[in-house]
Amino acid sequence: MAGQVWSVNTSGGYMYADNLSRLLRMSVQPMVKFRQFCDVKDAAHQGLHRGDTYHWNVYSDVATQGTTLTETSTIPETSFTISQGTMTITEAGNSVPFTGKLDDLSEQPVAEVIRKVLKNDAKKGFDNLASNQFNDCKLRVVPTTGTSTTALTLTTNGVAGVTNNVALGKEHVKLITDTMKERNIPAYADDDYYALAWPSTWRTLKNDLESIKQYIDAGFQMIMNGEIGRYDGVRFVEQTHVKKGSLGTAGTVGVTSTWSNAKSDWAFFFGEDTCAEAIAIPEEIRGKIPGDFGRDRGVAWYYLGGFGLVHTQSAQSRIVMWDSAA
């Protein structure tokens, strides 16, 4: 069977060695970054015995704004529209089988080791699924002509207009922040937006801001996983396990490919109410019913739920992506 066995050192034999520390040296794993920004909704009443589609309503602004009245005028009437977002609730999981012999002979707690490994696997999987919803956003910005540091070109169809050929810097952040404010994108918390990207994507920005001692405000308290600093009303978060380059489409894992010029990479700037997660059964660790008279064992993680972009129309989008056509 595939999985962990006693007879192969790298699959289990190394779990018994006289000089092996009893402290399990687990690989350093990143904590969730994208998923923490998803609005979690309890979908138990939707996903359990109610079908596999979760719905939510999105309400527009009124068609005409209220105004002043004279004594004899009537109060005007207006209306608003309601659109409905949906997401499909699906199963997700992974498992590691192991032999009874490995479990019986190992000095290390085999099932406990596997549980830790699978928990890290689940965290990465959830962040990939959440990030792909971010990648479905309609608003994309690129430097005008591909190289400008003083002007941006915004597209509203989910496709970048030109190849981005410049590193992301503080002037770009100012322009993106202005764009978000002028589109009335609500702040995420305390009048601040958030931005997510690879550490190397923020490098030029960090160099700019460190030189003028503006990168980290005095007394600023980090409140989100991976948060590294704040500038011009944006809090910056680093992440490392959603791949560089093109991300996948919704529901798939991102593919591996960096931007053609390697000068920058994607970054998401966003306010509140961006993505939703509907949970029918939260992620959990499950043990396999032993087979072959107790010799065939295993541990798995399992989840029943889904992720969805809350606002799919560009006029109401809450996410602006620093992007490139290639």
Give the pLDDT score at 294. 87
Give the pLDDT score at 140. 95
Whether the per-residue pLDDT at 219 is higher than 60: the answer is: no
Per-residue pLDDT tens over the stretch 133-149 = 999 999 999 999 999 99
Residue with tokens 């402290």: 23
Q: Where are the domains of the chain?
A: 31-58+81-326
Provide the token pair at 47.
């996903």
Mean of the per-residue pLDDT values of the chain: 82
Per-residue pLDDT tens over the stretch 40-75 = 876 655 545 667 888 888 888 899 999 999 999 999
Q: What is the dihedral of CA 184, 247, 96, 238, to 10 degrees?
A: -60
The mean per-residue pLDDT over the stretch 193-215 comes to 81
Give the pLDDT score at 49. 63
Neighbours of 220 (CB within 10 A): 12
Q: How far apart are CA 269 and CA 261, in angstroms?
A: 22
Residue 325 CB partners (closer than 8 Å, separation 6+):
142, 159, 160, 161, 162, 163, 164
The mean per-residue pLDDT over the stretch 209-230 comes to 65
Q: Which of 10-14, 148-152, 242-246, 252-256 has the lowest mean pLDDT?
A: 252-256
Where residue 250 falls among pLDDT bands split at 50, 70, 90?
very low
DSSP 29: -
Give the pLDDT score at 93. 94
Residues of the chain with pLDDT > 90, as a percent, come to 41
Q: Where are the alpha helices (DSSP H) in the chain?
A: 44-47, 100-105, 110-134, 170-182, 199-211
Per-residue pLDDT tens over the stretch 68-115 = 999 999 999 999 998 888 888 899 999 999 999 998 898 888 888 888
The three-state secondary structure class of 110 is helix
CB 244 within 8 A of CB 203: no
Residues of the chain with pLDDT > 70, as a percent, come to 78
